Structures are given as structure tokens and as C-alpha cells.
Chains A and B, each alone.
Chain A
Amino acid sequence: MTDKDVAQRFIDAVPHARALGMVLEEIGEGRAVISMPYDARFVGDPSTGVISGGVVSALMDTCCGAAVLSYPGARGTATLDLRIDYMRAARAGQRIIARAECYHATRSVAFVRATAHDEESARDDGLPVATVTAAFTMDGGKAAGKQRALADEAAAPDAGGAA
């Protein structure tokens, strides 16, 4: 099973990621790209039709988590701290594409940064909608035994409970 299969299963197994319609585009070596379609139910300000900041947060958090899980040796993770800066409003009607990179990891902590684009800025390499810096837990810690067992269960091909 490739890394991408594992991660897509990870996304599919996350009810909220499914509820938001997230699609895993790329994954591997501590990097992940996840996109999400525009949906009127996820609007934050009806006067503009702009997607809610909370949705972008959820997408970024998932993307960062996926990046951490694809880091060599990683088996389980949880968000410790996540800061999001909103540079501009996402264009109404366009997909949001999040790109995360786990740029450093110790035995117990993973450091991640991410950007979110709409279709137009992704294509033109323009100004991102938002950027994120985050710290995630990684293996080692006290809860790691349990987390690891759970992650193994999620990744095991014969684990029936994954979905």
C-alpha cells in the first residue's frame, strides 16, 4: 500500500474531512496537498459569499496533520497549537487548495507550515488566502503508545473499523 492510499484512507476515515468534501491531491515525505470544493453551506459572510475562516482552518488543520503523518517514521499526531493568518478573502465559487510541509520533527514534536490558495492564486502563484504555522504532537510522548496503536489500526489493510 502506498503512502497515498494510507493518507486517503486517513481522510476518508475522518468524518469532518468527509463532511467538508476534502480531496487528497498529493502526499509524501512530510508534505501534503488537500483541496476542498466551494459550498454555499460553508459561507462565513453571506453578503460576499466568502467561505468562512473556520472552514479554511479545518482544511489547514487536516492538511498539516496529513503532512505530519507522511513524515518518515510518524505514526500518530494531534494538533498542539495552530496559528492562521488571513491575508485576503477567498474568491467565492472557487476551490480552496491547502499545501502543508512538516519542515522539522523531533521525537515528540512536529513543526508545520502551510498555505491556502483559491484556484486563481494557485494557478498564478499569487497571494495565498491564508498561511499557517503549527506545532503537532509526534510519536514519543506519554500518549504515544495509545496513539500509535490507533494509527496502526487505521493503517492496517484488514482493519474493518477504519470507516
Chain B
Amino acid sequence: MKRTTPEPVQVIKERRDKALRVLAGSIPYAHFLGIRFDRRGDELTALLPFDEKLIGNPFLPALHGGVTSAFLEVTAIIELSWSILWEEMETGTLDPRVLDADHLPRLPKTIDFTVDYLRSGLPRDAYARARVNRSGRRYASVHVEAWQDNRSRIFAQATGHFLIPARARPE
């Protein structure tokens, strides 16, 4: 029996990073807010570097509640798309070489999103991670948490339901 040589780690890394870059770069509003994504294997962490335009209450000062909510929602959408994309990349149904802005899977649509504001967002960098609790053929439920200096001191969390767009697969 002949064993196939595993792909060099650099090739795999580049493929995954490229897919993430194309996906995360596809949302203009995420770019406007300055959101970036950090990847460790399939785990994503969203970063929101602090900027003056993200302030909602200049007297405290605190991040705008809408910024927090948008940050959580973008993180949830990217995580959900990424989990679908990852599956397709790993099983070979998607060829990452043809993946660019024009060949990106349609983004999931938010049905509803509920944000729980636990404490005010401080004027510094924020981080978020999302967990896909259920992802069926059409609907998905995603939970997301955001923190700043201290991972265990979450400043906001949210749960959202998303509509997964029908994927036109090559025959």
C-alpha cells in the first residue's frame, strides 16, 4: 500500500490564511471598524483595535454599544462562514486556489441578534470569539463573547440566528 506524502505545513498554512483573508476582507463595514482575525488552526479570534471613532460615550469614555454589537455580529458571521469554508476545504469540495472575492460563498444572513451588555467597553482593544452551537442545512445558532484586558471578564455577549445561503456546488 502506497502512502501519500502529507502536504508541507507551509502550503497548508498559506491556503488557510488566504481563505481567511479573502473571507474577512469581504465585509467593507468590518474594514471600516478595523476588525482583524487571528487564526490558530481552525480557531479564530477577532480583534478590534481601539480607535477614537468607536467611542459612544465620550465622558466615560466607552465604546459605542452599536460598535460592540457590530463587532460581535461580524465575528459571528465570519466564524460561521469560516466553519463552513473549513469543512469544504478539508473535504476537498472547495478548491482554495479559485477562492477570491468573486468566488466566495455567499455570507450567512442574520435573522436575529441579541446582545447582552455586561459592562461598558473601555477605550482600548477588544477581542471576540464565536462558537457555532448548531449549524444545520438552512439555519445556524451562534454564540459570541467579547472581552478586553482579561479573558474571563467578558464585557458583552450575544446569540444570533443565521440563514445559511444555498451553496451552488460544482457537479
Q: Which residues of A contact B (CB under 8 A)?
A: 13-19, 40-47, 51-55, 57-62, 65, 78-86, 89, 150, 153-154, 161
Residues B68-108 near A (CB distance < 8 A): 69-71, 73-74, 101, 106-107
Known: A42-B28, A54-B73, A153-B59. A82 touches B115 (CB 8 A): yes
Known: A52-B29, A78-B117, A82-B114. A60 touches B66 (CB 8 A): yes
Contacts of B113 in A (CB 8 A): 53, 57, 83-84, 86
Contacts of B65 in A (CB 8 A): 58, 61, 65, 78-79, 82
Closest residue of chain A to B66, judged by CB?
A58
Known: A15-B54, A82-B65, A82-B69. A44 touches B107 (CB 8 A): yes
CB–CB B29/A42 < 8 A: yes
CB distance from A58 to the nearest CB of B (A): 3
CB–CB B55/A62 < 8 A: no
Closest residue of chain A to B71, judged by CB?
A54
The CA of A54 and the CA of B101, in the complex, are separated in Å by 21
CB distance from B33 to the nearest CB of A (A): 8
CB distance from B170 to the nearest CB of A (A): 19
CB–CB A86/B53 < 8 A: no
The CA of A81 and the CA of B33, in the complex, are separated in Å by 22
CB–CB B117/A54 < 8 A: no
Contacts of B70 in A (CB 8 A): 52-55, 57-58
CB–CB B58/A61 < 8 A: no
Closest residue of chain A to B33, judged by CB?
A54
CB–CB B66/A57 < 8 A: yes
The CA of A55 and the CA of B111, in the complex, are separated in Å by 15
Given contacts A41-B29, A54-B69, A86-B112, 17 further A-B contacts (CB under 8 A): A14-B57, A14-B58, A42-B28, A42-B29, A45-B106, A52-B30, A52-B70, A52-B74, A57-B73, A61-B66, A61-B69, A78-B65, A78-B117, A79-B117, A84-B113, A84-B114, A150-B59
The CA of A59 and the CA of B67, in the complex, are separated in Å by 10
**A–B Cβ pairs within 8 angstroms, 10 of them:** A16-B53, A16-B55, A52-B74, A57-B70, A58-B66, A82-B65, A85-B112, A86-B110, A153-B59, A161-B59
Q: Which of A16, A54, A60, A89 contacts B56 (CB 8 A)?
A: A16
Contacts of B66 in A (CB 8 A): 16, 54-55, 57-62
CB distance from B28 to the nearest CB of A (A): 4
The CA of A153 and the CA of B52, in the complex, are separated in Å by 20
The CA of A163 and the CA of B110, in the complex, are separated in Å by 34
CB distance from B121 to the nearest CB of A (A): 11
Closest residue of chain A to B101, judged by CB?
A46
Contacts of B60 in A (CB 8 A): 150
The CA of A40 and the CA of B29, in the complex, are separated in Å by 9
The CA of A15 and the CA of B33, in the complex, are separated in Å by 13
Q: Which of A62, A81, A85, A154 contacts B115 (CB 8 A)?
A: A81
The CA of A82 and the CA of B116, in the complex, are separated in Å by 7
